[in-house]
Amino acid sequence: MAEFTYTPLEEGEVVVIGPVTFSSSSSLSFNAGGTQSAQVSQTNRRKVGITNRRVIIEQGGQPQGTQIISNADVKRVYVRREKFGTKVERIETTNGQKVKLNIAGLNARDEARLFKLFPNAEIGQRKGLFGGFSKLTPRSVAASRKARSSKPAARRPAPGAARSTRPTGGRLAKSHLDDTDIQSLEDLRRYYPLPQEYDYAQTAKGDYVVKRLADGEEFLFLLEEGILGFDVPVQDPKRRKVTIEVLKKKL
């Protein structure tokens, strides 16, 4: 696993994004006297990464140049969606400090992880000439991932899912869970809290489902990579269903 140069990880701490190393060179020319000239060159290196606890920026060639920010102290995360992935441009702390990260090439899964890494922060994009802020939500992140897919999500087997889970029609035969933390209904309610009009239930066969409290209708769900989603039919001629998605809650 890639590690930082000067910053040891704490017990239980893991690197989630990065670290990424940036390097830049600069030179200075000057007259040393008479017709002689001299040139001084310098290479600056910067290593940036995000763990499950901290943002770590190592600058220069000395450990005292390292900057560490707790994830809990991050108020805003500025991202930009590019052709080849998402770029984390910078973060803003609760005391107003703005720190450039410029970590590029994140996929949709990494983008969704930002909401778990920074539970107290708003995730959004710069908007307009004056640098306004357009807030994103976990659902909009999941939707963008589906929009970038070359095939409809319903026809695409979910990574890690058993083949027997989805019949050829693309619908779930039963709810699919891919999270070792989920061992009971209470685990589902604790890690993946649903909107207030829904709750989890267990069928006579022992399978887990989502139940709509208003009419008792049950829905199968797909849970993997920290995202739980289920489809709800709607009375709308433009679309037959909506997908409700819930990101795993950090405890």
Residues 100-121: tens digit of each pLDDT: 998 988 888 888 889 999 999 9
Alpha carbon 47 to its chain's center: 20
Q: What is the CA radius of gyration of the chain?
A: 23
Per-residue confidence at 240, pLDDT binned at 50, 70, 90?
confident
Mean pLDDT score, 120-130? 80
Helices 108-117, 138-148: axis angle to 10 degrees equals: 170
Cα–Cα distance, 127 to 244 (Å, whole number): 27
**Residue 138 banded pLDDT, cuts 50, 70, 90:** low
- The structural domains of the chain, ordered by start, are 15-27+40-147 (2.30.29), 170-247 (no CATH)
The 10s digit of each residue's pLDDT in 161-187 is 333 333 333 457 889 998 889 999 999
User: For position 1, what pLDDT does the model report?
Assistant: 44
User: How many angstroms separate the CA atoms of 251 and 44, rounded?
Assistant: 39
Q: Identify the CA nearest to 46 among candidates 19, 15, 21.
A: 21
Judge whether residue 99 has pLDDT over 90. Answer: yes
Q: Are 90 and 107 in contact (CB under 8 A)?
A: no
Q: How many angstroms separate the CA atoms of 142 and 151, rounded?
A: 15
